[in-house]
Amino acid sequence: MIYYKSLIYRFHDRFFTDEFRLTGWDLSSAYFQAKYSLLIKGLSSLLFVIAASLMASTACGQALQRFEASGQYERDEKHSGSTLKVETENRFRLTPLNQIAVQEFDKTAKSPAMPRLEVPPLSKSDDDLKLDVLQPGTRMFVDSPSPVKTARLFSEDSPLILPEPVVETAPTLNPPILRRPLAEFGPPQIELEEEEVNLFEDSLLTYPHEAPLGYTGPSGILPKDAQTTSHFVPVEDRWRSGFPDWDRYDQGQPSGVDYPYEHGRWYDPYNQNYLKGDFPIIGQHLFMNITAEYETLQEFRQLPVATSPFESTIDPFSEPFFGDPNQYFSSNLFLMSFELFHGNAAFKPIDWQFKMTTAFNINYLDTNELAVVNPDIREGTTRLDDYFALQEYFFEWKMADLSPHYDFVSARVGSQEFVSDFKGFIFDDVNRGARVFGTRLANRDQFNIVLFDQVEKDTNSLLNTFNDRKQNTLIMNYYRQDFISPGYTAQASFHYNIDRPDFLFDNNNFLARPDPVGIFEPHQVEAYYLGLSGQGHIEKLNISNAFYYVFGHDSMNPIAGKAQDISACMAALELSYDRDWARFRTSFFYASGDSNPNDTTATGFDTILDAPNFAGGEFSYWQRQQLQLFGVSLVQRESLVPDLRTSKFQGQSNFVNPGLLLFNVGMDFDITPKLKMITNANYIMFDDTEVLETYTFQDDIATAIGTDLSIGFEYRPLLSDNIVFEAGIATLIPDEGLKDLYGKYDPFTIAQVNNPELDPLFSIFVQGAFIY
């Protein structure tokens, strides 16, 4: 194939006589572009014409003489033309107008007047080139893969008759190599074959049916559209689309290894499973979620326990007022949840859902003192109890869409779980109620309005019964994300709690309402909580904060012996900083205490049903254990506030209490992706001990409670919440205030009158959760 390359000349920035630039345009479509103005173009063209005219006449004659002498120039007598054969590896250049300069030729050639270059076309070949004439100022290089190619020079007065091209046979190559087929055989000939008969003209294209990932269960979608063409295949069940088999790591997909693209099993809760709502059971939008959960707790603890009278004690020779503190507690909880919901399972809120959760609990308590499991000493020192409950049951439906961004408002009616703030400082419970909730501004804001009509709890399992509690709680809160700073969420809340007069003995035959202290008179507590809280981060600093103010009325406080106007407050702040795999924390908690229990204003802060995850939470001794003090508890299980009421669930809120000050430092360590360690050190103080002095008829009780040290571990062997183990050990090193309340005195000496003895109290627990 012969290629002819034309040149678009350009002027240099400094000298317009610079060499012209080679481009890849063929002669039939040559373009010329000048860099300068029309004036410079005109001047340059004039100079070129004058110079080229003088040089061309002389150069052409000399070139033709050399070619005649060498025998490479042949004269066409009929057409007065000249034919020039050029060797394959040689390159020749034709300069403007009459001048011909031939490179790499030793012999001279004769020069006819005013020569032009003509290229003979090759018929039926990809090498066909259109006839063109060299223009002034054009440079051309000819490269050819063939042994010999021809170019024709003729004068302007000669007619144009082009000879047939000479095609020479390429020499035999040995060993054979890939050669240019068109150079030897010409262009390929396309032969049209006869039309083939389609034996499958009436058949439809089908695709292999791969198994989908996960456990899909039976499809609940009936096919409606049949395939009628090979261009479109109807897919009715879009949830169960197949996926080709793929062994990503080429290991045969061994069991027990986290491997992608696995086909599920019905008992597999980790991968996709229609039993946990990953595939619809009927149609495209109806899903079912079945959850089975087993929680076990094994706990050894030491609690201050008062001895019963000498004639009924388990150790007749014990003299201290507080007896053996060692106890063992075991609890086993079985939960089964069934959830049916309609929606898309993602991207937008569900249309409606129904949920029901049943619970069965077995618990066991072993103590070393009588009258602990029951006031009747004939019940001994151990207790085994079980209870079955319908813990959750509710129906939820979406009432309206509020915006195109999936903002919505929904309603939920029935027994349901609800936590009123980030940390659970005021309310955290599963109870009977009605809730309206939703989102605004593309889910940047969330809101809740909840009204609970509480039911009684079983005393030992703390599961719901169907007996009315005569207590109502109204909660309204509003969340705002990215408040002031991106990453920080603020919340404003309102709580209203009314606990009506009642008289109740719990399942262990202890008096629960009213509190068995002071005046045994049923009374009504009505309290209003106003709160501001927040959680998130500002830059690299993690923040969790809360402030609550409570006001209301208590018709007859048992400790004060008169009606009380409630006015108390609470504040909490936690700051933490993450560095690599460690988090460094510090916390502060304040609950106001009552400095004068004999007036008509109750200033001790109390909650409704709290379960705070703060300053150590469940790993802290002070929060985990329930310390009894005569007929009431100094502090409730899973609570921070020393409220002096019988029970968090069955007792009434008491706003005549000593209050609390807590200072915390802690560190959390992600030792491995599966193992986490939580450490905390708390120093705890009463805000005011005037109430304790009145309650215990004891003067000069110190405010210092002691130092609470704890360490805990969380282990997730599957890197998920399907299996979680927790273990912790905590100790409360008593200070003067706790010793004044629970310390031991030697009755035969007065040396300990101002310095009672109290050993550190320990708590060790192991618990596990198994969820399917």
Q: What is the DSSP string of 124-179?
A: TSTT------PPTT---EEE-SSSEEEEEEE-TTS---PPPPP-PPPPPPSS----
Q: Where are the beta strands (DSSP E) in 560-692?
A: 562-579, 582-591, 601-602, 627-629, 632-635, 660-670, 675-685
- C-alpha span between 688 and 716 (Å, rounded): 42
Ramachandran bin of 152, using left for φ above 0, alpha for ψ from -120 to 50, beta for the remaining angles: beta
Alpha-carbon separation of residue 320 from 316, 701, 740 (angstroms): 11, 19, 14
The pTM score is: 0.72
Alpha-carbon separation of residue 437 from 347, 355, 398, 472 (angstroms): 18, 17, 10, 19
- C-alpha span between 679 and 615 (Å, rounded): 10
Alpha-carbon separation of residue 348 from 275, 281, 342, 446 (angstroms): 21, 19, 11, 15
Residue with tokens 């019988």: 646
- C-alpha span between 429 and 512 (Å, rounded): 19
| Residue pair 488/534 in contact by the 8 Å Cβ criterion | yes
Residue 409, classed as helix, strand or coil, is strand
CA quadruple 436, 551, 565, 737: dihedral sign: positive
| Residue pair 447/631 in contact by the 8 Å Cβ criterion | no
Residue with tokens 């019964």: 465
Closest CA to 531 of 473, 451, 607, 593: 607
| Residue pair 759/706 in contact by the 8 Å Cβ criterion | no
Query: What pLDDT does 284 receive?
Result: 87
What φ, ψ does residue 700 adopt, rounded to 5°? Answer: 55, 50
Which regions in the chain score pLDDT beneath 70?
A: 1-203, 253, 255-259, 307-312, 316-321, 345, 746-754
Query: What pLDDT does 142 receive?
Result: 42
Which residues 6+ apart lie within 8 Å of 715 measured at CB?
A: 674, 675, 676, 724, 725, 726, 727
Q: How many CB atoms are closer than 10 A to CB 369?
A: 23
Which tokens in the block code for residue 338? 């069934």
Query: What pLDDT does 46 receive?
Result: 67
Query: What pLDDT does 763 receive?
Result: 97
- C-alpha span between 269 and 277 (Å, rounded): 11
- C-alpha span between 499 and 657 (Å, rounded): 18
Closest CA to 374 of 510, 505, 504: 510
Strand 93-94 versus strand 525-538 pairing type: unpaired
363 CB-side CA count, 13 A: 18
- Strand-by-strand arrangement of the 141-143 sheet: 21-25, 3-8, 141-143, 93-94, 100-101
In angstroms, what is the C-alpha Rg of the chain? 48
Q: What is the 3-state secondary structure (H, E, C) of 43-71?
A: HHHHHHHHHHHHHHHHHHHHHHHHHHHHC
Question: Cα angle vertex 164, ends 160, 166, to 5°?
Answer: 135
Query: What pLDDT does 649 receive?
Result: 94
| Residue pair 761/742 in contact by the 8 Å Cβ criterion | no
What φ, ψ does residue 624 adopt, rounded to 5°? Answer: -80, -35
Which residues 6+ apart lie within 8 Å of 580 measured at CB?
A: none
Q: For residue 177, which amino acid is it?
A: I
Query: What pLDDT does 110 receive?
Result: 41
Q: How many CB atoms are closer than 10 A to CB 700?
A: 9
Give me the domains of the chain, ranges plus CATH numbers. 3-185 (no CATH), 205-284 (no CATH), 286-771 (2.40.160.100)
- C-alpha span between 260 and 14 (Å, rounded): 67
What φ, ψ does residue 480 adopt, rounded to 5°? Answer: -130, 115
